[in-house]
Amino acid sequence: MTYGKKLREQIAGPGTTPLIGVYDMYSASIAAKHYDGMFVSGFGFAASYYGLPDIGFIAWPDMVAFVQRLRGAFPHHHLLVDIDDGYVDPEVACHVVEGLERIGASGVILEDQKRPRRCGHADGKQVLPLEEYLEKLERVLETRQDLVVVARTDATDEHDILHRAERLAATDADVILVDGVRSEDWIRRIRKVVGDKPLLFNQIAGGKSPRLSLTELDELGVDVAIYSTPCLFAAHEAMDSALTDLRAADGRLPQVAADGGVGVKVSTTLLERNIARERLDEPEPQGVGV
């Protein structure tokens, strides 16, 4: 079974499928212990790889190389990849989609923003003319073999949101995403116009969308939930706290707790799993968190 088909079947099953945002191999190693699906977040990758905000700095070869490393270490997990606007040109978007499918990505998200692009939960977003985006989307859909394609709109005008969602749902895209949805009522309105097409909801801490549980999202008719930054923001807070404590302790490292504190042994054990995961006896997570 292909990676695209496996994700497509997961989405079609009961409940809302959660995909956890990862930004490097270490965060992915931890996420893999808890969930069977990952979202390769553009926000997180731009922050981790470049130390820059999510406003269009990502170069597609860097993203493809990262996904290749992920697939090598996590052969059984779903990998949904944020490819922003397809890196501007339709030709590049198709080339990237071919490459990602070849190395084992499960799916991609293609947005309708124009440059300079922004995080989906930021102000100042601008979208391409609808027909221009649809042409790019159609070329990507013709290029993919079995890769899941999520069509995403970043429209902010209320009429345009519903119009674009309806038009995207009429394509052969597998899933529809309207980013930056501001209320449960708007989720219901979008759910209505996309008909039977699977719907994706993006949750990001401090973003524009409401914080909703998987149960609540399922009741609203949401099929997939991506969590873009829980690992990134948790790492930010934990590192800042650890270094504040280290400075206060005059550089003396804290004692590693015997009952599970993170030190050399715990960290090495985690990473050793990535050397030959397929040869391990323990099963991979199956629908964890769904």
pLDDT at 285: 54
How far is the C-alpha of 198 from the C-alpha of 50, rounded, in Å?
33
Tokens at residue 132, please? 């221009």
DSSP assignment of 209-276: S----HHHHHHTT--EEEE-SHHHHHHHHHHHHHHHHHHHTTTPPPPPPTTT--SHHHHHHHHHTTTS
Mean pLDDT of 134-139: 98
pLDDT at 290: 34
How far is the C-alpha of 70 from the C-alpha of 91, rounded, in Å?
25
Q: Into how many domains does the chain fold?
A: 1
pLDDT at 58: 95
Confidence of residue 103 (pLDDT cuts 50, 70, 90): very high
Q: Which pLDDT tens digit goes with each residue over 122-135?
A: 676 889 999 999 99
Q: Report the candidate in 10, 3, 2 with the shortest Cα–Cα distance to residue 175.
A: 10
CATH number for position 149: 3.20.20.60
Least trusted range by pLDDT, from 23-32, 41-50, 204-213, 225-234 = 204-213
Q: In the predicted model, is pLDDT for residue 288 greater than 60?
A: no
Instruction: Give domain status of residue 285, yes or no.
Output: no
Q: Which pLDDT tens digit goes with each residue over 187-238?
A: 999 999 999 999 999 999 888 889 999 999 999 999 999 999 999 999 999 9
pLDDT at 147: 98
Q: Are 220 and 191 in contact (CB under 8 A)?
A: yes
Instruction: Give domain status of residue 30, yes or no.
Output: yes
DSSP assignment of 132-143: HHHHHHHHHHHH
Instruction: Give domain status of residue 284, yes or no.
Output: no
Neighbours of 217 (CB within 10 A): 23
Q: Report the candidate in 269, 283, 282, 278 with the shortest Cα–Cα distance to residue 29.
A: 269
pLDDT above 90: percentage of residues in the chain: 77
Tokens at residue 167, please? 């038009």
pLDDT above 70: percentage of residues in the chain: 93
Confidence of residue 276 (pLDDT cuts 50, 70, 90): low
Tokens at residue 191, please? 């759910």
Q: Are 229 and 204 in contact (CB under 8 A)?
A: yes
Instruction: Give domain status of residue 287, yes or no.
Output: no
Domain that holds residue 59: 3-279
If you average pLDDT over every residue of the chain, what do you get?
A: 91
